[in-house]
Structure 1
Amino acid sequence: MSLPRPARSVTTANEISPRTGVAFPLRRGHVLKVIDPFGVQVSDLLAYNAHDVREAISNGRTFDYEETIALTAGSRLWSNRSNPMLTIAEDTVGRHDFLLTPCSEATFRHFYPEHPVHRGCFGNLAEALAPYGIEPDMIPCAFNLFMNVPVAPDGTLQVAPPISKPGDYIRLRAEMDLVIGLTACSAYASNGGSFKPIHYAIETDSPA
């Protein structure tokens, strides 16, 4: 007779207000679930080794070891020291970006001169991560959840609205003790021209 699988123990869902960011610890084996509650909203994710924040998520190492830029369920996200940091356990969207850097004040001056300058995801992440000893120059390219960046055959990049629908989510399992930075993205093109919240929860006992 098979035993029932343990129920997931999930923290209360947290909300990241539009155009803001947060940081928090994520223990090894726990699962971070990031939800797009209203659809068409990007969330920038950063990860650092909680015991040595000089070890950080790396898009280059990830592309190298996963041999793809199309990261989804089953893919691992690697560190600059070639260690797996997160494994994508479940993904209802299947389209994310790991090519483009977090938007910043410079981004807004460059791409959106007709709009007020905003500190963007970079500024939000810098403020949220500062209590963990992470300085602005330690912020790498983020894993941009739900971001839709088609790459043309000639290599040209386009930022298109996300294909995520209300309630879509991604679940990522921590492979080491981590500090996570997470935003509700601030850039116009990334989010189809509007700004919405992002929800997240931590599953402390997951069968995945």
Structure 2
Amino acid sequence: MKSTSSITRVDVPARQGRAVQVGAGNLVRVSSPEGAQVGDLFAVVSADTTEHLSAAHTRGHVNRLFPHVGEQFVTTRRRPILTLVGDTSPSRHDMLIPACDPARYQQLGHPGPHASCAENLETALRGLGIEIATVPQPVNVFMDVTVNASGELVWQSSPAAPGATVTFRAELDCVVVVSACPQDLVGINGHGTGPMAIEVQG
């Protein structure tokens, strides 16, 4: 972890996850340094970690599949937790797909253990002494999943260029977790998995 003035940067190695504590009013910037890397983003309320960012509640709140800049993400109690304030990517993000987990990789035919966003979330939170009963559906930044005319999901490679960023303002004190998605059996991460970075500006 490196600090420069009021900005704290946390590097997220490929296939791993990291958690940061964020105060209300702070900015959180998530970047894809090498491009084409999907990040599963989660946020839990510091005062009560049973309350967390909810993709489903947010879809209903903004009446679209992903908020526009200036719109908010809400929790399971319909309270604003993050506001989208900046996006330098092509704005292809996903709130339909759940976090990858061991069962997903088994279904895809991978033999043996495989890193997953669900486990990355649990490990990152456990490092702060937080245990969760259920893995929330994440906000999948830089992930391009579309729906075709037949209603089928089309999984496409992330269009995020190297250095692409998406920036949020925290509306509540919360813990934000970013997992550099280890998915390498479905082509969402370009030519391979890579790192991500989180910057918190107080």
SS in 1 for 2:44: strand
Q: Runs in 1 of length 4+ with deviation above 6 angstroms? A: none
SS in 2 for 1:54: coil
1:16-55 equivalent positions in 2, closer than 5 A:
16-55=12-51
Amino acid at match of 1:202: V
How many residue pairs get matched?
A: 195
Q: 2:114 & 2:71 partners in 1: Cα distance?
A: 33
SS in 1 for 2:103: helix
SS in 2 for 1:138: coil
Q: 2:173 & 2:68 partners in 1: Cα distance?
A: 21
> 2:68 matched to 1:68?
no
- Deviations 1:168-200 (Å, cap 9, x if unpaired)? 100000000001111111002221340110011
Deviation at 1:133, TM superposition (A): 2.3
Q: 2:83 & 2:8 partners in 1: Cα distance?
A: 22
Conserved in 2, the CA contact under 8 Å of 1:72 and 1:91?
no
Change (3 A) 1:36 1:13: same
Change (3 A) 1:92 1:116: farther
> 2:105 matched to 1:108?
yes
Q: 2:59 & 2:79 partners in 1: Cα distance?
A: 13
SS in 2 for 1:44: strand
Instruction: Judging by fraction of residues, say which structure has more helix.
Output: 1
Deviation at 1:70, TM superposition (A): 3.2
Q: Report the TM-score, using the length of structure 1 for normalisation.
A: 0.88
Identical positions, percent: 29
Conserved in 2, the CA contact under 8 Å of 1:18 and 1:185?
yes
Q: What are structure 1's unaligned runs of at least 5 residues?
A: 1-7
Q: 1:70 & 1:54 partners in 2: Cα distance?
A: 23
| Residue 198 (structure 1) aligned to one of 193, 196, 199 | 196
| Structure with the greater alpha carbon radius of gyration | 1
Conserved in 1, the CA contact under 8 Å of 2:15 and 2:115?
no
